[in-house]
Amino acid sequence: MVTGGAVRLTSSGLGCPTWPECVPGSYTPVPNQAEGQLHAWIEFGNRLLTFILVLSALITLIAVLKSGRRDLRILALGQFLGIFAQGILGGVTVLTNLNPFAVASHYLLSTILIAASVSLYTRRHIPGIKKSSHRQSDLFSRWHVVVAFIVVVLGTILTGAGPHAGDIDAPRIDLRIQTAALMHGLAVIFLLLLTVAFYRADKTGHETKELLVKFFLISIAQGGIGFIQYLQGVPELLVAIHLVGAVLVWIGAWRIWLSVQRQEMDTAR
């Protein structure tokens, strides 16, 4: 996600103007191509990371299959197949000249893969069998992660309406950036209020409360960076920091949901 953001912020999204080749007749950048060597190699480098991710996911899948842990198989297989889907979606993004909805979908699929990888790691260390949980905590955790995902979605819409398209000629979402920023900001405020309510709920466990505090602090920092970058005209450095913060916020929200799920588990190896 971070390297993908670097591609967008350096306007290298079409550094390789076709897919799966970089340029017609070559899978790698060629000398003197029209897009420029820097843009071409930034985009090509991002594509190369796909092979590293595929290898990592394959090793993980093999390890899970050998372990006999049936509860991990779907997550491991989902990671493996999801990376292939991500590569294809990335190709569609290039072939549609960085259509903002394709770019947003590419990013959102990454958030799903991150959630799956966090779940896989968590279940690997804390396996178990489901038990009944308190309805209050269950509802809070579900709504919290749903609203967090909505915040991420609205963030991609805001990005799609903003100036950093990945290429100077890429299309943008036909929405006033002020309107998109307002929707995103209101969703963030609602998420913060929900976080406070979740923390104060009498059935919220100690571990979940600790995660909620961390989430709240990260979200406040993330919101501050977002507001400053908006006032400053979205400079690339602040946008990059905000992108990293968005990943941390999403991981935090998912871990909060998982913390409630883990309270429903007994060790079972």
Query: Is the CB of residue 4 less than 8 Å from the CB of residue 110?
Result: yes
Query: Long-range contacts of range 229-233, CB-CB < 8 Å, 24 or more positions apart?
Result: 230/181
Enumerate the β-bridge partners of residue 23.
26
pLDDT of res. 263: 53
Tokens of 182: 């307002």
b/e per residue, 16-54, with b = 16+ CB within 10 A? Answer: bbebeebbeeeeebeeebebeeebbbbbbebbeeeeebb
What's the pLDDT at 211? 96
pLDDT, one tens digit for every residue, the chain (269 residues):
778 888 888 888 889 999 999 999 999 999 988 878 899 999 999 999 999 999 999 999 999 999 888 889 999 999 999 999 999 999 999 999 999 999 999 999 999 999 999 999 888 876 555 545 678 888 999 999 999 999 999 999 998 888 876 677 788 888 999 999 999 999 999 999 999 999 999 889 898 999 999 999 999 999 999 999 989 988 889 999 999 999 999 999 999 999 888 654 444 33
- What is the predicted pLDDT for the residue at 166? 66
**Pick from 181, 214, 220, 205: nearest CA to 260:** 205
In terms of DSSP H, where are the helices of 162-205?
A: 177-200
Tell me the whole-structure pTM to 2 decimals.
0.89
